Structure 1
Amino acid sequence: MKYPQTLPVLIALAFAGAAHAQAPAQPAQEQVIQRQVNQQQRVENGLKDGSLTVREAGRIEKKEAGLDRMIARDSKDGISAQEQKQINARENAISRDIARDAHNAKRGDPAGTSNQRMQADVQRNVNQDQRIQAGVQSGQLSGNEVSSLERGQARVDRTEARAARNGHVSAAEQAAVQRRENKQSRRIHRDRQNG
């Protein structure tokens, strides 16, 4: 007659397990992605106010690509405390680079065509990162999906960095970036909608 007493416990454990399996991603992952959004916005603002040149923004995007790869590697099974510490260290270094470049003597031309192209591409990064973050917060994206999407973000960032390395982003280079961004946008949409 012990079954009636253990049955409520088993049912409670089953519900707890189901709730845990459907819980949104861990706060560490959300924090990491939010920080990426913030840093991309700082780059865009630096381009808009002329405190960053196109070449400086390109160097930052190259570093962001490395960060995206690190996040992709760590997101598969959830970001551990040690992994978050390493990611934070990389984000802090990029943050210092943004501040240093924004406050040096070099000035960008916010009205320049290359600058405008780079601004548009960086703004799209912000949008894509926000969409990934929303998918993490809602539980629509699994760790594997976030990992895959972060690898996609790294490819976009590398393409932007290559386009900006000489300080000029041509129409053809921006078209290449936009093709990558379009592919990434479709992947974000598909992964968030696949249930």
Structure 2
Amino acid sequence: MQHRISFRRLALAGFVAAAFGAAAHAQEAPVNQDVQRNVNQQQRIENGVKDGQLTTRETSQLEQGQAHIDRMEQRDLRNGPLTGKEQAQIQHAENVQSRDVYRDTHNGATQNPNSASSRRMAADVQRNVNQEKRIDQGVRNGSLNDRQVAHLQGREAHVDHEEHNAGANGHVSRGEQRHIQRTENRDSRAIHRQKKAGA
């Protein structure tokens, strides 16, 4: 009889632990999905710049769209896990951005990917990809919590906005790229600090 009761308690404890684990995973999953989508969108933009399907001006507009999504994530994650409504709003914005990337890469407007301006823009967007990957990795391995991700996405929004401003006239100068790189370097250090703090 005692053995049967112990078995039931053990089974109940396992069930409770699994339920709590599933709930924690369900709360984290939207953040994983959103940050992974940021990586994917930035990679699509980078590919479009590198193969000449995106002009500098188009890339500038797309980076403004990425800034909008990053700001939404920053605002919504400040207070903890995303609500269903917040997640739906972010997904809608990501879907709009995805359609914009597709439209701009298939509209027939092209630019020489080997021009100095295109190479600068491609390098800047590649840094965006790298930074978002590092944030995504931090979410997945638990070294970044929601509040830290909110802070970092705010910084990413700032970089995206700088890229938008630099390319709005269709050309990214050497000076504009240096300015963006300084911001990206600060953001890279911030990601490192936040991951260490959360470890």
For normalisation by structure 1, the TM-score amounts to: 0.88
CA distance, structure 2, for counterparts of residue 120 and residue 80 of structure 1: 35
Aligned residue for 2:61, secondary structure, equals helix
Letter matched to residue 135 of structure 1: G
Deviations 1:72-95 (A, max 9, x none): 111221112211111111011111
Matched, 1:117 2:120: yes
Give the counterpart of 1:85 among 65, 73, 88: 88
Contact 1:25 1:139 in 2 (8 A): no
Aligned to 2:170: 167
CA distance, structure 2, for counterparts of residue 19 and residue 92 of structure 1: 29
Percentage of matched positions with identical amino acids: 45
For normalisation by structure 2, the TM-score amounts to: 0.86
Matched, 1:32 2:39: no
Deviations 1:31-63 (A, max 9, x none): 001111111001001011111001100100011
Give the counterpart of 1:96 among 93, 99, 103: 99
Aligned to 2:182: 179
Deviates more, 1:61-70 or 1:97-106: 97-106
Shift of residue 19 of structure 1?
Answer: 7.1
The number of aligned residues is 190
Structure 1 segments of 4+ aligned residues over 2 angstroms from their partners? 22-25
Structure 1 unmatched ranges of 5 or more: 1-7
Aligned to 1:158: 161
Q: 1:182 to 1:25 in 2, by over 3 A?
A: farther
Contact 1:72 1:150 in 2 (8 A): yes
Contact 1:149 1:188 in 2 (8 A): yes
Letter matched to residue 151 of structure 2: S
CA distance, structure 1, for counterparts of residue 33 and residue 173 of structure 2: 34
Alignment map for 1:23-62 (pairs within 5 Å): 26-62=28-64
Contact 1:24 1:136 in 2 (8 A): no
Q: 1:144 to 1:106 in 2, by over 3 A?
A: same
Q: CA RMSD in A?
A: 2.6
CA distance, structure 2, for counterparts of residue 175 and residue 64 of structure 1: 21
